Amino acid sequence: MKKVLVTGFEPFDGDELNPSSVLLDWLKERTFDFEVYTAVLPVSFTSASEKLNAAIEKYNPSHVLLTGFAKNRTELTIERIGINWVDARIPDNDGYALKSQKIFQNSPDGLFSTLPIDQILNAANNAKCPTKISTSAGEYVCNHLLYTYLLHHKKVPGTFLHIPGADCHEIFFQGIGAIINCL
């Protein structure tokens, strides 16, 4: 049975809102032909994975969409690869900054998304959402979470989507809704 878990992050870097957590509220107002669960995660190198693991245990999803905010991007970006590297430009919300280091010493340098990237790109584009595939989720908590997720939850297909900076996020939320439906 199809059950989708969508996560977002709390605000960080001085912002009052994070569009990825606003997305979760938007999703709660929508109706799907299957269960869609949501979870807000802390912007934390140490506890984001723990909270994600708890949500996966609680909801037992068939698919996971991790979402975050990339202020300087202009399109919804589907992350193809989680890299085994962090180099935080700012501290996380716990005041912790991982600098120029591997996430796990004896693990692959990169892990590929376990969702059909081209299929979800087409779904977002068909919804008229400006979308592209990205080969880097950055070097901050988003990538740390994606890489850790892909390393430990290979049986639950998932990827990461970055919501861009914009005055209005409705078109990007609609694109994510289309992605959820196509899974």
Name the active-site residue from 75, 139, 144, 162: 162
Name the active-site residue from 63, 75, 129, 142: 142
| Residue 144 appears among annotated catalytic residues | no
Q: Partners of 63 in the beta sheet?
A: 4
- Each as own residue / partner, the long-range contacts of residues 96-101 (CB below 8 Å, 24 or more positions apart, any chain) are 96/44, 96/45, 96/46, 98/45, 98/144
Name the active-site residue from 63, 75, 79, 144: 79
Strand 158-164 to 76-79 pairing: antiparallel
| Residue 153 appears among annotated catalytic residues | no
**Whole-angstrom distance, CA of residue 168 vs CA of residue 170:** 6
| Residue 168 appears among annotated catalytic residues | no
Quickly count: other Cβ atoms within 10 Å of residue 31's Cβ.
5
Strand intervals (E) in 47-121: 63-70, 76-79, 81-83, 110-112
Residues involved in catalysis: 79, 142, 162
